[in-house]
């Protein structure tokens, strides 16, 4: 590579604002974040990687363990998912909460919020349900962030990253 091209590449790399590019990628891919949140909730997983709590059998909303068990069995019929144990909530009845989810991206962070009027109350009860767990964040990185940052880096600097 001639010295002039090498200097141009160095200048292009210095001008490449990785943080800004990443923020734009995340903002442009907000619906992918929301879809990962929906999938994670349907599997009964919380942002901490654990199952969403309280379990039906632990939830004081139910007047008895038997009532919780009946509800859990009904939920399994309307939203079957082999990755979600019977006693684990998925916060889905008719889809209103799941459909109302949206991602808010600002100040280098993102949040998953609910537009449904009762969303805050649901997340107040199920404190670990809101947000992506490590597995979902890794999936977003592998399927969205990494491919997009590679494209932007090539477009703005000419640098091509290849896998070995």
pLDDT at 1: 61
Q: Residue 148 to residues 106, 107, 132: CA-CA distances in angstroms?
A: 19, 20, 20
Where do the domains of the chain lie? 30-133
pLDDT at 10: 79
Residues 116-141, mean pLDDT to the nearest whole number: 97
Residues 111-124, mean pLDDT to the nearest whole number: 97
Q: Give pTM, 2 decimals.
A: 0.89
3-state secondary structure the chain: CCHHHHHHHHHHHHHCCHHHHHHHHHHHCHHHHHHHHHHHHHCCECCCCCECCCCHHHCCCCCCHHHHHHHHHHHHHHCCCCCCCCCCCCCCCCCHHHHHEEEEEECCEEEEEECCCCHHHHHHHCCCCCCCCHHHHHHHHHHHHHHHHHHHHHHHHCCCCCCC
Whether pLDDT at 137 is above 80: yes
Indicate the range of 19-23, 49-53, 121-125 predicted with least confidence: 19-23
Return all residues near 100 (Cβ < 8 A) that are at least 6 apart: 114, 115, 116, 119
Tens of pLDDT, residues 65-88: 999 999 999 999 999 999 999 999
Tokens linked to 44: 């009964």
Q: Do 133 and 49 meet the contact criterion of CB atoms below 8 Å apart?
A: yes
């Amino acid at each position: 590579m001639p010295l002039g091209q090498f200097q141009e590449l160095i200048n292009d790399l210095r001008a490449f604002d990785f943080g800004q590019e990443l923020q734009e990628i995340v903002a442009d891919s907000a619906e992918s974040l929301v879809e990962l949140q929906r999938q994670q909730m349907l599997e009964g997983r919380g942002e901490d990687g654990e199952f969403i709590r309280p379990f039906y059998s632990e939830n004081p909303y139910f007047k008895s363990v038997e009532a919780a068990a009946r509800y859990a069995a009904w939920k399994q019929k309307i939203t079957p998912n082999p990755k979600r144990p019977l006693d684990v909530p998925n916060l889905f009845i008719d889809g209103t909460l799941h459909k109302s989810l949206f991602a808010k991206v600002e100040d280098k962070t993102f949040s998953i919020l609910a537009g449904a009027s009762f969303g805050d109350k649901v997340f107040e009860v199920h404190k670990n349900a809101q947000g992506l767990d490590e597995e979902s964040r890794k999936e977003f990185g592998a399927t969205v962030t990494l491919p997009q940052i590679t494209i932007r880096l090539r477009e703005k600097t000419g640098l091509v990253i290849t896998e070995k």
